Structure 1
Amino acid sequence: MKQDLDALDVGQLNPLTPEVISRQATINIGTIGHVAHGKSTVVRAISGIQTVRFKSEKERNITIKLGYANAKLYKCEDDECEAPQAYVSFGSDKEDTPISPCCKKPLTLKRHVSFVDCPGHDILMATMLNGAAVMDAALLLVAGNEKCPQPQTSEHLAAVEIMRLKHIIILQNKVELIQEAQATQQYDDIKAFVSGTAADAAPIVPISAVLKYNIDAVVEYLCTQIPVPVRDFTSKPQMIVIRSFDVNKPGEDVENLKGGVAGGSILKGVLRVGDEIEVRPGVVTKAADGKHTCKPIRSRILSLHAENNDLQYAVPGGLIGVGTLIDPTLTRSDRLVGQVLGHPGFLPEVYIEIEITFYLLRRLLGVKTEGQEKAGKVSKLKKGEFLMVNIGSTSSGGRVTGIKGESAKVELTQPVCTQVGDKIALSRRVEKHWRLIGWGQIIKGRTLPMPDEEG
């Protein structure tokens, strides 16, 4: 369905508006769980898109960067077509009313979702936390041929609980590799594992992602169990950047060079082609005395894309590519990850020190020693210790400069565009790896002055 900027009435938009849902995803679904439990394979089974795209990922057959893929979810409304067979998924560029492959009747578009495919390897936990910042719901993958829970199954579940994610669907994958009695036993193990967590009442769907067995049931649950999130279309736009690219090929002629592309999810408001934009913190420099200065990047939106679909305007939810006039050296290799994009003068402050109220987990998650999970206790924060702090899609180092009761001051190693009230995740270095130890909420902080001139 064609979008018309001239006819756009932001007040009338919602996540299921036909002009929106036919062109872009409006719900973000995370895929989480332990390494090699089938997260990327499930995304491919639903969307038809391979999220493992980079040479280093293909060689090792693991997700390293955040993967992403969009899918349209349809339902056959014919009374004779029963669920879950009535539910079908296609790629994002499928037409609005395709024909059902089973009953040959027209299908109705129910949802347009964006998958954020998180890496499951323990050393990539920071990347997973960056992805969790934009999720509305999650698919928790548990491999049927392994004991539940594996280390990152626990760690990822704890992470999405910190992000207050309430809508989780558990997928018991690789059931083609096990006997029925094993599957039943593991079902009980999963129920025991999630008891008392955000996934306590989550449905558990047995699937084979490789064979596409029961994928229609997953599509049904995505349409019926996950409510359409409430979105703010009328505020000034704010987009959280989780990927950024230089799309030019090596040796490209100067006249054919394209500006940098920022990929991410709009948190609120509507971005339009032609909008003037600002990216904060922008270009960060550190003087010899250790002081940081930030110069926000100013530019203009040349194009908006949701995978292969061109957009005239983009709304909250789903992963969007924003084509700009920014020097591509500033956007290549994910250099803008963690920054915030929006209209000039309407973005949050940039902080270099934050004061937080914090809550620590009782025990370490995701630590495995000699085949057993080591339930090490999380020790208290210490003044002077160094943590990794995840704020939105930003990972920054932070030194604890003061502790008083359940609040702490943290001096950040790099400036972060954020605001009071935002939630953060705290990780500590344990056995050479960063481990999730708790979460916090920003109550105040010290901001950096922003220069008035354009970048």
Structure 2
Amino acid sequence: MTSTKAKPNLLPQDLSTLNVNELNPLTPHVISRQATINIGTIGHVAHGKSTVVKAISGVLTVRFTSEFKRNITIKLGYANAKIFKCENPNCQRPGCYRSMRSNTEDEPNCEVPGCGHKMKLLRHVSFVDCPGHDVLMATMLNGAAVMDAALLLIAGNESCPQPQTSEHIAAIEIMNLKNIIILQNKIDLIKEPAAKEQHKQILKFIQGTIAEGAPIIPISAQMKYNIDVVCEYIVKKIPIPLRDFTSDPHMIVIRSFDVNKPGSKVEELKGGVAGGSILKGVLKVGDEIEVRPGVISKESDGKLKCTPIFSKIISLFAEENELQFAVPGGLIGVGTKIDPTLCRADRLVGQVLGSVGKLPSVFTSLEINFFLLRRLLGVKSQSKVRKLQKDDILMVNIGSTSTGCKVTHVKSDLAKLTLLTPVCTQVGEKIALSRRVEKNWRLIGWASITSGV
């Protein structure tokens, strides 16, 4: 149970004195309450992604019933953690680095025996825990849309690479995610020669990929062995992302839900909650907002009609920490006045939330410039990727949206797609393409949007 006494130690946020031009991802009264860097955990199924997140943040991301705490999981797990460093210059590394829960006070005492100095808050990070199962590749790509860096998990007791290890590497390559730390997990289960042999396998596997040159840290997530080293590397190896605080706010929705309990009285009803990551701009409590594409309906002539949803921000949360304003990075819960039935069971996923009249257009068909992978990843039978043809049915991932589409024209590396559901996006945005192979959607390549209708 969290004590209520620790809460006043978080720095206060005051909208009346807020100057957006002075904010950055390390501003103390921002990182006291909110994560500003998103780190994805990727890798093959059962290699220890959720266990690592729990070891660093103290939060188990695999949980279904805790939505009432305004925490957003189920499909993409997530957890926030603060990373501290002891201010005593004689405190030895890596033991001087510690990670704690998101609602920890900003200056805890160092727990190294005989030290007792205060610790300084250096980073507040948000972990996006991606599923490793091949069937959930689309979910992983939705998570990759908000990542600034990634922890790639490779289990020490299995050969490297496993199918989804290579598929996830290809996915982050598409997203141009350069900041990667490789964690060689479960080393408590193997002997030293086997660990060294696998270290060579990993180096061979990442050669020529975007992960080449990434640090490899041997860890045991279950035993919390070397987790302090991981914290040190997060601080030293992952650069502070450049953030745009002054533009109109633009947030992509990764989760949405209805927080009302069954049988609530009418006067007790709360509006729906949208959870996601702000890409640019600052959201404040009391702001008027718009959600696009909004409610999608079919008209009598068969045409699709999109009605944007207009609402107001009632509350902002980062895990258990209440906010007055929210900045880019980290995962935020936005309490609104939207009809809760529109938010129930992730119905708003893939929508874009921002200032009224300032969001990008909604498209129903796209023209793309595409690039296909040479071979299929994540399947044992390394078969070649078939070229795109007219009338192909594909799945595209745009931001946090996954939608089906039909290819209507193909000419060399250009194609025209008709989307099943309208999407709020802009020209130049990168998208991932997947095709159905052996009953599952498989990543076949990527594209950038050149124009659309």
> TM-score scaled to structure 1, two decimals?
0.94
- Choose the corresponding residue for 1:147, options 159, 162, 173: 159
Which residue type is aligned with residue 77 of structure 2? G
In the alignment, what sits opposite 2:420? 413
Tell me which amino acid in the other structure corresponds to 2:444: I
* Counterpart residue identity of residue 260, structure 1: G
1:426 to 404, 429, 433: 433
Given that 2:284 and 2:324 are in contact with CA atoms closer than 8 Å, whether structure 1 keeps it comes out as yes
C-alpha contact (below 8 Å) 1:66/1:119 kept by paired residues:
yes
Q: For 2:28, which of 15, 18, 35 is the aligned residue?
A: 18
CA deviations over 1:340-383 (Å, ceiling 9, x no partner): 0001100000000000100000100001xxxxx22111110011
1:289 positional shift: 4.2
Structure 2 equivalent of residue 9 of structure 1: 19
Distance 2:262 2:160 in 1: 46
Would you say the 8 A contact 2:39–2:151 is kept in 1? yes
Give 1:290 shift: 3.5
CA contact (8 A) 2:35 2:126 kept: yes
Q: 1:241 touches 1:263 (CA, 8 Å); kept in 2?
A: yes
Residue 439 of structure 1 deviates from its aligned partner by: 0.3
Per the alignment, residue 243 of structure 1 pairs with 255
> What residue is the counterpart of 2:47 in the other structure?
37
Which residue does 2:97 correspond to in 1?
Answer: 87
Out of 204, 220, 229, the residue aligned to residue 208 of structure 1 is 220
Does residue 1:116 correspond to 2:123, yes or no? no
Q: How does 1:137-176 map to 2 (within 5 A)?
A: 137-176=149-188
Q: How far apart in 2 are the matches of 1:374 and 1:170?
A: 26
The equivalent of 2:316 in structure 1 is 304
- Using the aligned pairs only, state the percent identity: 69
Relative to the length of structure 2, the TM-score reads 0.95
Q: Which runs of 5+ in 2 are unaligned?
A: 1-10, 66-72
Q: Is the 8 A contact 1:64 1:124 kept in 2?
A: no
Mapping 1:56-95, distance limit 5 Å: 65-95=75-105
CA distance in 1, matches of 2:159, 2:75: 26
Q: Which residue of 2 aligns with 1:60?
A: none
Q: Which amino acid aligns with 1:20?
A: V
SS of 2:24's equivalent? coil
For 1:451, the equivalent position in structure 2 comes to none
Q: CA deviation at 1:64?
A: 5.9
**Equivalent runs, 1:223-372 vs 2, <5 Å:** 223-287=235-299, 289-367=301-379
Q: Deviations over 1:149-200 (max 9, x none)?
A: 1111111110011001000000000111111111111111111111111100
Q: What is the CA–CA distance in structure 1 between the aligned matches of 2:196 and 2:381, rounded to whole Å?
A: 26
CA distance in 2, matches of 1:207, 1:397: 40
Amino acid corresponding to residue 405 of structure 1 in structure 2? S
Label 1:19 to 1:44 Cα distance change in 2 as closer, same or farther (>3 A): same
- Partner Cα separation in structure 1 for residue 74 and residue 419 of structure 2: 25
CA apart distance, 1:116: 0.4
Residue aligning to 1:190:
202
Q: CA offsets per residue over residues 27-74 of structure 1, 9 Å max, x none?
A: 00000011110000000000000100127xxxxxxx961001000000
1:431-450 alignment, distance < 5 Å: 431-446=438-453
Following the alignment from structure 2 to structure 1, what is the Cα–Cα distance between the partners of residues 29 and 178? 28
Q: Report the residue type matching 1:36 in the other structure.
A: A
Distance change >3 Å, CA 192–CA 288, structure 1 → 2: farther
**C-alpha contact (below 8 Å) 1:140/1:170 kept by paired residues:** yes
The 2-side partners of 1:86 and 1:440 are apart by 44
Structure 1 residue 291 displacement after superposition: 1.6
Q: Secondary structure at the match of 2:229?
A: helix
- SS of 2:404's equivalent in the other structure is strand
- Structure 1: tracts of 5 or more residues without a match: 56-62, 368-372, 447-455
Q: Deviations over 1:252-276 (max 9, x none)?
A: 1111111000000000000000000
CA contact (8 A) 2:37 2:148 kept: yes
Residue aligning to 2:119: 107
> Which residue identity is paired with 1:10?
V
Deviations 1:207-243 (A, max 9, x none): 0001100000000010100000000000000001001
Query: Aligned ranges for residues 40-51 of structure 1 at < 5 Å?
Result: 40-51=50-61
Residue 452 of structure 1 corresponds to: none
Give a deviation string over 1:313-339, Cα, whole Å, max 9, x none. 000000000000001100011110000
Q: Deviations over 1:397-435 (max 9, x none)?
A: 010000111110011000000000100000000000000
With 382-391 and 246-255 compared, the bigger mean Cα shift is at: 246-255
Partner of residue 5, structure 2 = none
Rounded Cα–Cα distance in structure 2 between residues aligned with 1:35 and 1:191: 21
Distance in 2 separating the partners of 1:413 and 1:389: 10
In 2, distance between residues paired with 1:44 and 1:248?
28
For the residues of structure 1 that align with 2:56 and 2:190, how far apart are their CA atoms? 23
State the Cα distance separating 1:140 from its structure 2 match: 0.4
**Are 2:256 and 2:349, in contact at CA under 8 Å, matched by a contact in 1?**
yes
State the alpha-carbon separation in 1 of the partners of residues 364 and 302 from structure 2: 12
Distance in 1 between residues matched to 2:405 and 2:199, nearest whole Å: 40
Letter in 2 for 1:327: D
Preserved CA contact (<8 Å) 2:427 2:450: yes
Corresponding residue SS for 1:6: helix
SS at match of 2:139: helix
Runs of 4+ in 1 over 4 A off after TM superposition: none
* CA distance in 2 between partners of 1:89 and 1:182 (Å): 29
Q: Secondary structure at the match of 1:331?
A: helix
Distance (whole Å) between structure 1 residues aligned to residue 168 and residue 27 of structure 2: 33
| Letter of the structure 2 residue corresponding to residue 229 of structure 1 | P
CA contact (8 A) 2:63 2:74 kept: no
